Amino acid sequence: MIVGIDFGTTNTLIGYVDRSLRPQIIVNERGSRITPTVVHFKNEKQVLVGELAKSQMLIKPHQTILRVKRRMGSDQNYEIFKEIFNPSEIASFVFRKCKNFASEFLGEPVEKIVVTVPAYFDDNQRQAVAMSAKLAGLQVVKLLNEPTAAALAYEMENDSEKIILVLDFGGGTFDITLMRYQDSVYQVLVTGGSTSLGGFDFDQVLVDWIVETVKNEKFIDLSKDPIALQQIYNHAEQAKIDLSVVAETSIVIPYVALSPEYGPVHVNLNLSRERFENLTKHLLERAKQLIIDVLKEASLPPEKVDLIVFSGGTSRMPAFRRIVTELFPNSQILSEINPDEVVALGAARMAAIIDGRLKSIELRDVVAHSLGVFDDDGQFVPIIDRGTVYPTIATKIFTNTRDDQDKVLIKILQKRDEELVELGDFQLTFAKKWQKEEAAIAVSFNITHDGILTVTAEEMNTGEAQDVTIQGHLAEIRVPTPDQARLSLLNKIEVL
Ligand code: ADP
Ligand code: MG
């Protein structure tokens, strides 16, 4: 059986489609539907993942890793007990944990998975996630974009065209996706949002407020005390979550610190939802603006949106829901499925589609980041723009800039926000030496329907050509064979 995994920044969930073809969440060995994406090194040979790891955060912060997803595909490694681990290796413990409890739950070994990734993840990040799974002995049969998964969780009526807006408001990010559905085809129209706006920001506002209040009342600065601060974070998040259901809550942290002059310091504050919403007004305003921006980019008035799917824990906030209802008074809001679980349940349906147990669908995606090359001045020249639907092909003509030139180097780049990421390069060599601006070099980018990018350069006078295929650039991912020494080191570590 193929299962679906929502590997989140904050929490990881696994879903599967049961015998009666209903998507379900697999509970972990503690009976929880949610496993915190937290890894704690108990010692050199044992790691804890999930709730148990989270509870060690306070006591042993240097052995505890949070939010590894934010580092996927980067070279920001972790050093634990003098051993260096890259982000994929750390995340592999989370996947191993999932593999273990899911196999236990299903009574059969889980070997293949569908994993969801943010729509804006680039090739490196996707590959890093697939590598984590591989290190855990799991084969990724599909990397599915999270918003697409969220939409898939809801069964659509077959025929009629629907415009769907997926609002995925998680711990660290707000991911907005506008898609069109018709006849089992899901077409992404526009993606947007922010990678720096999420539930943590709301927690941070509350933490600052608590620290400030304590400073004013007790003359002690808790922001300098990491253990106190960690407790404040935990309580702030809890208060925020409470305020999604109740109108008022209290934040009580006894003995949070010891003041040299005043003795033990306790936090005891009341907070109303109204106050909280006032404190976080700027964040809500930003969220609203991001939604408006996506509609603008799609040139779509709000009344054209038929369905809205809520996903991510932060989407439960009443103030956020209010904003959405005000923006879209005529749209149907789909909220029967728990927003924490909607991505994992969608991934589970995708897994069952690949398994052949559910009816097939087609996913059509857009290029999330523009793709292009460097010209001779080192300037980025886009060839395929962000938001282009693929399959697609696009060509631009360049020339040479020097006399006696017998080769050009084609550097392929992706533009992520303002940052350029190199995807690969190749050289086109010529039989003759061209004088300055004599050659006509056509550079074509071709993306197949499964997201594989091939770049071709052709000198148009002579027909001399060269190409390179960037494997699994956008959709299917080919993961390199892991380093055997690392693999055996990881396998010697027990995951609890
Ligand atoms: P991720 O996809 O980033 O792992 P989740 O979708 O699991 O994130 O959302 C986690 C975020 O949702 C956290 O910041 C958490 O505090 C917040 N959250 C969870 N439940 C609620 C709630 N009822 N009200 C407000 N925020 C919530
Ligand atoms: Mg998520």
Quick one: which atom of ligand 1 is closest to the CA of 311?
A: 6
Is the distance from the beta carbon of residue 249 to the nearest atom of ligand 1 less than 6 Å? no
Quick one: which atom of ligand 1 is closest to the CA of 200?
A: 14
Taking residues 197-223, what's their average pLDDT? 93
Q: How far is it, in rounded angstroms, from Cα 144 to Cα 347?
A: 7
For 12, the enclosing helix (H) or strand (E) is: strand 11-17
Q: How far is it, in rounded angstroms, from Cα 216 to Cα 212?
A: 6
> What local confidence, expressed as pLDDT, does residue 316 receive?
96
CA-closest residue to ligand 1 atom 22 = 241
State in Å: Cα 339 to ligand 2 middle.
9
Q: Where are the domains of the chain?
A: 1-154+336-362, 199-279, 370-475
Is the distance from the beta carbon of residue 69 to the nearest atom of ligand 1 less than 6 Å? no
Is the distance from the beta carbon of residue 316 to the nearest atom of ligand 1 less than 6 Å? yes
Is the distance from the beta carbon of residue 12 to the nearest atom of ligand 1 less than 6 Å? no
The tens digit of pLDDT for each residue in 229-277 reads: 888 999 999 999 999 999 999 999 999 888 888 889 899 999 999 999 9
pLDDT classification of 59: cutoffs 50, 70, 90: confident
Q: Over the chain, what is the mean pLDDT?
A: 91
State in Å: Cα 170 to ligand 1 middle.
5
What residues does 412 pair with on adjacent strands? 373, 424
Alpha carbon distances (Å) from 210 to 1, 230, 390:
48, 12, 49
One of 3.40.50.9100, 3.30.1510.10, 3.90.640.10, 3.40.50.2300 is the CATH number of 199-279, namely: 3.90.640.10
The tens digit of pLDDT for each residue in 388-410 reads: 888 889 999 999 999 999 999 99
> What local confidence, expressed as pLDDT, does residue 479 receive?
76
Is residue 472 scored above 90 in pLDDT? no
One of 3.40.50.150, 2.40.128.260, 2.40.50.70, 2.60.34.10 is the CATH number of 370-475, namely: 2.60.34.10
Give the closest ligand to the alpha carbon of residue 12: 1
Taking residues 31-46, what's their average pLDDT? 96
Is the distance from the beta carbon of residue 338 to the nearest atom of ligand 1 less than 6 Å? no
Is residue 450 scored above 70 in pLDDT? no
Is residue 15 scored above 60 in pLDDT? yes
Is residue 477 scored above 70 in pLDDT? no
Is the distance from the beta carbon of residue 116 to the nearest atom of ligand 1 less than 6 Å? no
Q: Write 383-391 long-range contacts (CB < 8 A, 24+).
A: 383/443, 383/444, 383/445, 384/445, 384/447, 386/415, 387/190, 387/191, 387/297, 389/187, 389/188, 389/364, 389/365, 390/364, 390/365, 390/366, 390/447, 390/448, 390/449, 390/451, 390/474, 391/447, 391/448, 391/449
CB 114 within 8 A of CB 350: yes
Taking residues 436-457, what's their average pLDDT? 88
Assess whether the previous peptide bond of 391 is cis (omega < 30° from 0). Answer: yes
Taking residues 430-448, what's their average pLDDT? 93
CB 357 within 8 A of CB 4: no
Taking residues 288-296, what's their average pLDDT? 97
Is the distance from the beta carbon of residue 11 to the nearest atom of ligand 1 less than 6 Å? yes
The tens digit of pLDDT for each residue in 263-275 reads: 898 999 999 999 9
Is residue 366 scored above 80 in pLDDT? no
pLDDT classification of 469: cutoffs 50, 70, 90: confident
Is the distance from the beta carbon of residue 204 to the nearest atom of ligand 1 less than 6 Å? no
Coil, strand or helix at 56: coil
Q: Which fold has domain 1-154+336-362?
A: Nucleotidyltransferase; domain 5 (3.30.420)
Taking residues 470-493, what's their average pLDDT? 76
Tokens of 81: 């007990």
Is the distance from the beta carbon of residue 237 to the nearest atom of ligand 1 less than 6 Å? yes
State in Å: Cα 357 to ligand 1 middle.
31
State in Å: Cα 202 to ligand 2 middle.
16
Mutate to test the pocket of ligand 1, among 314, 315, 316, 321 (most ligand atoms within 8 A of CB): 314
Taking residues 422-429, what's their average pLDDT? 91
Which of 161-170, 258-267, 370-379 tops mean pLDDT? 161-170
Q: Which residues of 169-207 are buried (b: 16+ CB within 10 A; e: fewer)?
A: bbbbbbbbbbbbbeeeebbbbbbbbbeebbbbbbbebbb
Is residue 291 scored above 70 in pLDDT? yes
Is residue 475 scored above 50 in pLDDT? no
Q: Taking the model in full, what pTM does it have?
A: 0.81
Calculate what percentage of the chain has a pLDDT beyond 70.
98
Taking residues 2-31, what's their average pLDDT? 96
The amino acid sitting at 420 is L
Q: How far is it, in rounded angstroms, from Cα 174 to Cα 192?
A: 8
Is the distance from the beta carbon of residue 36 to the nearest atom of ligand 1 less than 6 Å? no
State in Å: Cα 319 to ligand 1 middle.
14
State in Å: Cα 373 to ligand 2 middle.
32
**Is pLDDT larger for residue 184 or for residue 138?**
138
Is the distance from the beta carbon of residue 372 to the nearest atom of ligand 1 less than 6 Å? no
Nearest to 9 by CA among 34, 37, 28: 37
Give the closest ligand to the alpha carbon of residue 10: 1
CB 279 within 8 A of CB 206: yes
